[in-house]
Amino acid sequence: MAAAKVALLLLLAAIGCNAAPAPEACQRLAKRLPTKNLHEIFGEWVLVWSVSDFHVGQDLLRNLTSSHVEFKLHADNKTIEYNEKNTFSNSCTSYFINLTAPSDDAEHHTWTIHSIRLEKNGVEVEYNDTGDVEFYESCDDCLLMTYKSSRMKFLLSYRKEGSHRDVEQHKVAHDDNKKLAECLGVPHDKPFIYDGVTGLPL
Ligand SMILES: *[C@@H]1O[C@H](CO)[C@@H](O)[C@H](O)[C@H]1NC(C)=O
Ligand SMILES: *[C@@H]1O[C@H](CO)[C@@H](O)[C@H](O)[C@H]1NC(C)=O
Ligand SMILES: *[C@@H]1O[C@H](CO)[C@@H](O)[C@H](O)[C@H]1NC(C)=O
Ligand SMILES: *[C@@H]1O[C@H](CO)[C@@H](O)[C@H](O)[C@H]1NC(C)=O
């Protein structure tokens, strides 16, 4: 009895210290997208909210003005083409990425970055990084994912092109986004928040 009480107090103290969300909240928010529902990710998306766990990523997000991604499945069903276009105040970047599925038949796939081509202001630049991508369950016209490179992790929240201008609607999701960031160990004090008006990269 006494031991149980001490254990409970220690548990409460631990929760109080790092202010982690309750495990139930993480179970509700951090739900990986089942591989059988992968079709939900294909199409074009606009970034509305994002955070990173490393200062280099946070600097990129601070300068970002808009970001657009497209996901397409290759005919082999094992490769996802992941094209990302970003605009910054005075430049733009495009990433052309191929993701490959793991060989196992897991319920939730972690997609490995197989190759990346980077263009800055339309000119190809040398770029070489490793990493992976995981998708999470989200609302109907939403896409939620993590991008983990060798140095840092991003949590990225997208809306379908078309509903990306409804900034008031995006705000409704901010609390859940922040809690999910905490569950995944990503600080959320320096988020990118799309303003709903900046034009999308062409
Ligand atoms: C962000 O913008 C500032 C000011 O224009 C610039 O000094 C800095 O290099 C930029 N950082 C990145 C990562 O683009
Ligand atoms: C890919 O998936 C589609 C739909 O499930 C299927 O019709 C097609 O045969 C698959 N192609 C390969 C190469 O497995
Ligand atoms: C991705 O795969 C396609 C088809 O195999 C290929 O044409 C393209 O060059 C690849 N992209 C990169 C960035 O390697
Ligand atoms: C990319 O980096 C990996 C690991 O550091 C290395 O093995 C590979 O040769 C590099 N590729 C290029 C094209 O630089």
Which domains are delineated in the chain? 33-193 (2.40.128.20)
Q: Given the CA of residue 62, which atom of ligand 1 is nearest to it?
A: 1
Q: Compute, in angstroms, the gap from residue 125 CA to the centroid of ligand 3.
A: 16
pLDDT at 57: 97
pLDDT at 1: 46
CB atoms within 10 A of CB 125: 10
Sign of the alpha-carbon torsion through 127, 187, 101, 73: negative
The answer to whether 55 and 154 have CB atoms below 8 angstroms apart is: no
Atom 2 (ligand 2): residue with closest C-alpha?
77
pLDDT at 55: 97
Mark the ranges of the chain whose per-residue pLDDT is less than 70.
1-20
Cα 145 from Cα 45, distance rounded (Å): 12
pLDDT at 175: 92
* Residue reference for tokens 């990425």: 97
Cβ neighbourhood burial of 194 (10 Å; 0-12, 13-18, 19+): buried
Q: What pTM does this model have? A: 0.86
Cα 53 from Cα 194, distance rounded (Å): 19
Q: Is 77 in the pocket of ligand 2 (CB under 6 A)?
A: yes
Of the residues 54, 56, 59, 118, which should be mutated to test ligand 1's pocket, given the most ligand atoms within 8 Å of the CB?
A: 59
Q: What are phi and psi of 34, to 5 degrees?
A: -65, 140
Name the closest ligand to CA 117: 3
Cα 184 from Cα 140, distance rounded (Å): 22
Within 8 A by CB and 6+ apart from 19, the residues are 182
